[in-house]
Structure 1
């Protein structure tokens, strides 16, 4: 990302009164953020309110400082990369952006990411959410609750799952630690994080501070993600908002222990609203940490006693894991070879030729799922998801509820 591109994305994200929804409408209408700010007020008013259009013609407060901070952070990635850790700022439309977040009500415009440099350099989604499970719970769990979180995460990671949580004290930390205990010693060539931490602060801060060592371990085998600008402190209002990302990145959410006022219940309810599965581990009727789980169970969450109880509800994940394993074992040609470049060109679409590609013909005009479209085209999942996102931003394809896509007819 160039400095000009970064400046445009940050300006769009920081403009007062222009939320993620309005920003996505602007991107769909005008393309990249840089093109938005060259539009007339009347043109902007065609997709946003007049007050928002007026704000877009002004520099937002703190924009210059945020740009300097973010650019310096990205440019200083060399020292971190020497230890294998990379930094990235991933906007909508980037092939690394997790496709599952596009299905939630309020996907972030940008994600700040820390993780293995080799993975962040690959133009593929950071995470296949079909093979990810959120594990959340009390910040003050019982000893059994901590052990349950650790052992469930360890077993899931051993079977190829990614454990998503929030790096908080208690259950979150135990879940991350359990996943790391099952991580391979050597990184696989494919992007296969064992755990992802979604934080409610700027990604340059670790909260709580006692999780510094855990955070450093996570970025060697997984990712830390944040939607908040660098330097953002741990504000109470940000943590419930980040919970939608924890739920959205996962095929389901497991609540290990939670009091009735726990933010983990927010994550579980967001997961249910997003069409994801919700699981809960029952506990003692006398333990306050169990009352939230019992409430979820009364509301229809799946009662969990073992990892098998989770796997039975997510059969599609097994197929996704098998595909990932097969893809990881298939040699990938390098760009240094002309023959490899030619072969890669048959798999990865070029933005300049996407409109002429037969994928649009294969899609037709009826709603179609990704698996069905993949079967018709033969494209690999990462290439197809990236191409569909490009077409969505270009107004050629619409994303429908239930993970379906539909070709649009332009007048």
Structure 2
């Protein structure tokens, strides 16, 4: 696949994945096309040597693996992890309000959202709807309105001239998007609106939903020389897409796995999150539940946790540690934290550096300023739950957790090159 095609397909993937459910749907389609067999967690698994498999949980998390030509107990497993969720505004269970003749939906903040950029954007709505059919069968459907159906207007500067000096946002009162003008006596049904989005003639009743607002502006190449990419959800769907491409385009000779967890942005504590049992249960079904076999395999394995890193912003460089300032388009970033907010250690860092050296991929390092708090990833959680040697890396990014983030156009290609070599590598232990 050419470099230009990789970037274009990345942008397409981002645009078609407004929610974790849609992202997993996109990944599923690509895995099936590449010959991977879907496994049902409720059924017995019969795994074959050199087999290619995947399974999903909650429609929002996914694990794919190929068994390879070697015994994982001897060869270890090459693991790459990322997350499917991004900070967003999530629709509440009873959301409809009519105020001053405007139809609005109540929302709650999902994750560490940078709220200011959500104002004055063309918003749409997407997610999963659960419903009952005429026969009493419960089903789920993914919906996406696609077109702009809502907006959160700013307050005019004339009414509050302090906004440019200090703007405090109240998530309860300031964020409900406006969808329409209606009469106060009009009986609006949100459930009927959702029914119109579901293509099922047998639909009888909408029972529940998990819906998120998102910006309809399409992902794009930006810059005089198109050296940047700008999009919603670069954190962390960029990592999911590049991890997927490196995985399905590897030679599949080695035991290898990718895991894309939901709920990282809210702590990972769920059945489908990294702090849940999903990955360990899949590994036990693959390599067996013998404690000795499991520990032998994990001790020879390596997890590369891939999540975006903070690129140094030229207007705000003082917010970075002086000697650890990642530059966009300068290669993947190893993320290090003394308090284990990242799982990187000298051994796993050296292994990743060695992998990158073998394919001429430059490496950068990020350490947060000592007087600032540090974010985290699925890396420390996975390392804690499995005992697997782990390194946290990522692509340098501007405006992380904004409604629109920016990354370098070269970095996804460099990360792809490193990860594909990792999946093909015959040795992953020090």
Shared fold (TM-score, shorter chain, > 0.5): no
TM-score, normalised to structure 1's length?
0.24
Larger Rg: 2
| Greater relative contact order (Cα < 8 A, sep 6+) | 2
TM-score, normalised to structure 2's length?
0.23
The structure where strand makes up a greater share of residues is 2
